[in-house]
Structures are given as C-alpha cells and as structure tokens.
Structure 1
Amino acid sequence: MPDGQKRVLATEAALAFIEEIRLDHPDILFHQSGGCCDGSSPMCYPADDYIVGDHDVRLGEIGGVPVYISGSQFEVWKHTQLIIDVVPGRGGMFSLDNGRERRFLTRSRLFSGGEACAVPARN
C-alpha cells in the first residue's frame, strides 16, 4: 500500500450498491476487467463462481469485498488508485450489477510522486 493510501476505494454510492447486491449474493468479489467485451468495468461475481488466477493481484477490499486485477493489467496500472463508483446503466453481461439499472464504474487517480507504491502480493 502506498504510504497509507489504499490501492482501491469505493464511493458511498458504490458501498450502498454492494450491500444491496449482498442481500441476494452474500459472498462476492470484484475483478477489474481489462477491456474486451465489458470495457474496463469492475466486474462483480459470486465468490464461488469465479476462480482467482495465480497471476491475479489483490488490490484490497471495498465494503469487506476483495478486489482483484490481472497481473499484466496491474503492471500497467500499478501507479494508479482505483475508485469504484456507481452510474446509471447496465452492468457487464456476467456481473451481478447487470439488470439493476445501475452499474459499477472505475474512476482513477495517479499516485503522486510522494506516494511510494508498494507492490501487493499476488493472489
């Protein structure tokens, strides 16, 4: 974790949406999508339906829910803090936010020069 800064945060709206989803799916996780079909959305899955890969990096937790990113994508974004938010729209095809007329969205900010970036452990 960079000098006390978390690698992943969530807005109040995202935390409330996570709690709503957990009413139906108590044990969930996020995996930051790398593009392709669902753009770069944070994908929300039932924890037992998603296999975290050996090269995935755990960025931290939001609302008690773990957030992962692929190792190759982490290499590109390692100087970036992710902020999970909610906006109107449809979620990713397999993401638990789909069909709820709101979806998770990743916002970001670069860590400043004074925020040394420690590399989190893989998976």
Structure 2
Amino acid sequence: MSEIATEPRVVATDAALAFIREIQADHPEILFHQSGGCCDGSSPMCYPADDYIVGDRDVKLGEIGGVPVYISESQFGVWQHTQLIIDVVPGRGGMFSLDNGREKRFLTRSRLFGGGEACPLPAR
C-alpha cells in the first residue's frame, strides 16, 4: 500500500520569513490575502490582522511563519492544484499592503502539485 504525500498549500522562502519578522516589529499581528484584484495584480497582500475582515467565502490556505494566508473562494478554484510559494523581491509593495514603502515586496510563485500529492486544507 503506497502512502500519499501531503504538501502544504502555501510555503515561504527564508527571505519572506525574515521580511515577515521585519514587518511584525511594527505590526505584530498580520495576515496575508492572496490578491486577485486589478490594482495590485496577483500580489500577496499583507495586512494588520485587525484591519482586514476575512470573508465567509475566503479559504485559509495555511500559515507561513505563524501568519495565516487566505485566498478568495473563486481564486482558490483556479489555483487549487498549485502550491503557493511566498517570496521577496526588490520593488514596491501593493498600495494597501504593509510591504509598501520598504523597497522590497512579497511575490507569489507557484508550482503544480504532482501525482500522489494530497493537499488538504487546514481547519478554519
């Protein structure tokens, strides 16, 4: 009997984890929402946890560095077969994201889940 490997739906690079800690020095409680909007493209948006209302139809993908990551249900339907990899690159963050003005920004990379990988969602 073969075992099915489970992979997290969202992971972060070491650079992203360090950047999260940098932002948490100013804003201890944060969350991510994977944007699908027109204004900020498809950037992972970082918000103070008490400033963002997670919608009833948002899907929690998991956590990176202890920080929850959400995506809209409709966008999850499109990306459900991918693992999101949160990284950091030089540049300016999204207009309303906490990475804005820090001369680097979060970026989402992705990879398709392969055969045999199960990817259950964490509990809300």
- Name the TM tier (shorter chain): over 0.9
Q: Which has the larger radius of gyration?
A: 2
Instruction: Please give the alpha-carbon distance, in whole angstroms, between the structure 2 residues aligned to 1:79 and 1:38.
Output: 23
The whole-number CA distance in structure 2 between the counterparts of 1:118 and 1:19 is 27
Partners of 2:115 and 2:19 in 1: how far apart?
33
2:6–2:120 CA contact under 8 A, matched in 1: no
Label 1:120 to 1:61 Cα distance change in 2 as closer, same or farther (>3 A).
Answer: closer
Aligned partner of 2:116 in structure 1 is: 114
Structure 1 moving runs of 4+ over 6 Å: none
Structure 1 segment 30-41 matched on structure 2, within 5 A: 30-41=32-43
Give the number of equivalent residue pairs: 121
Give the Cα separation in 1 of the matches to 2:106 and 2:71. 15
1:77 pairs with one of 59, 76, 79: 79
Match of 1:17 in 2: 19
- Identity percentage of aligned residues: 83
* Deviation digits for residues 11-54 of structure 1 (CA, Å, limit 9, x no counterpart): 00000000000000000000000131000000000000000000
The aligned residue for residue 89 of structure 1 is 91
Cα distance, 1:4 vs structure 2? 2.1
Question: Which TM-score applies when normalising by structure 2?
Answer: 0.93
SS in structure 1 at match of 2:20: helix
Q: One-letter code of the match for 1:11?
A: T
TM-score (norm 1): 0.94
Partner in structure 1 of residue 49 of structure 2: 47
Query: Alpha-carbon deviation of 1:120?
Result: 4.9
